[in-house]
Amino acid sequence: MNRASILIEADELLTKIGDANIRIYDATILFFRSESEPTAYEQYLQGHIPGAAFFDHQNFSDPSSDYMYMVLPETELAAQIGNIGIAKDSEVVLYANGLLPCATRAWWILRYAGHNNVRVLNGGLSAWEKVGGEIEQGARQYEASKFECRLRPTMFASKEEVQAAMEDGGVCIVNTLTLESYEEAHIVGSSLLPCIDLMHEMNSFLPDDKLASRLEGEAQHEHIITYCGGGIAATVNAMAHLMAGNENVSVYDGSMSEWVGEGLPTTTSRNS
């Protein structure tokens, strides 16, 4: 894969508005909102790319799991993708309003499910507005379709696979959170590369040469597993690896939420 197959720039998206086959989704999550502030869905209603529907991450999260944002089982995942209007041949564009990791998480889920023609709008809603894209209000919804999963199971790693990787020198386990969070607790043996170091203002990916430079050390390993707090920020690093040509990368879906919840071994930077 390369940048052009993973990202779409706003000026190209402008040329596709009105195409009957395109499916655009606002995949924003608001993690730190106060009760008085609008929800992500309310923010979407106030303004979104024309025709865009809302990608609700909760609907793609396993309700039977003890941990947030764990991906749905295959049957339920296929049904949910179809429910929001995505068919095998749909061209899908995902974006977020100010927080790229929300869109990369949605991209990772759809690619995991076997959908091939899906890209993330680099720069999100602000990039769209900068090129003169119109904004519309209110809800949009695509007609439900049928989608059949063809899972790419290696895109997600389980806690058992992470445990095995801890004993395997050929696997690089990467924490993608902040230095402060890493210092507090991280998976034993894991390294740190904050996802923010791969983005410009949490909204767009850095140029390819800068991505390749920052990922060079990890790319020397046979396999890379990225993780964060709940499997969202980790998808930024994983997608960056794909753009850099490093295909053998997985996201630990449960991440620290599950790892700590299951009492698995962590350490701090002071005694690692």
Instruction: For 133-202, give the secondary structure using H, E and C.
Output: CCCECCCCCCCCCCCCCCCCHHHEECHHHHHHHCCCCCEEEEECCCHHHHHHCEECCCEECCHHHHEECC
| Angle in degrees, CA 27, 227, 236, rounded to 5 | 45
DSSP string, 8-41: E-HHHHHTTTT-TTEEEEE----SS--TTSPPHH
CATH superfamily of 3-151: Rhodanese-like domain (3.40.250.10)
pLDDT (tens digit per residue) in 15-67? 999 999 999 999 999 987 778 889 999 999 999 999 999 999 999 999 999 99
In which band, very low, low, confident or very high, does the pLDDT at 8 lie, cut at 50, 70 and 90? very high
Whether 113 shows a pLDDT value over 60: the answer reads yes
In which band, very low, low, confident or very high, does the pLDDT at 99 lie, cut at 50, 70 and 90? very high
Residue 271: what pLDDT?
Answer: 47
What's this model's pTM, rounded to 2 decimal places? Answer: 0.96
Residue 33: what pLDDT?
Answer: 74
Residue 35: what pLDDT?
Answer: 80
Tell me the percentage of the chain whose pLDDT exceeds 90. Answer: 94
Number of residues in the chain? 272
Q: How far is CA 58 from CA 65, 106, 144, 202, in A?
A: 12, 11, 18, 22
Whether 167 shows a pLDDT value over 50: the answer reads yes
Distance CA 126, CA 28 (A): 13
Whether 272 shows a pLDDT value over 80: the answer reads no
In which band, very low, low, confident or very high, does the pLDDT at 182 lie, cut at 50, 70 and 90? very high
pLDDT (tens digit per residue) in 127-148? 999 999 999 999 999 999 999 9
Q: What is the mean pLDDT of residues 152-164?
A: 97
161-176 burial code (b ≥16 CB/10 A, e <16): bbeebeeeeebbbbbb
Answer whether 3-151 and 154-267 agree in fold. yes
Asked if 234 and 176 count as a contact pair (C-beta separation under 8 A), the reply is: yes
Domain assignments of the chain as residue spans, ordered by start: 3-151, 154-267
Asked if 97 and 118 count as a contact pair (C-beta separation under 8 A), the reply is: no
Residue 270: what pLDDT?
Answer: 65
CA torsion angle 44 45 51 56 (round to 10): 50
Asked if 23 and 117 count as a contact pair (C-beta separation under 8 A), the reply is: no
Domain 154-267 in CATH 3.40.250.10: yes
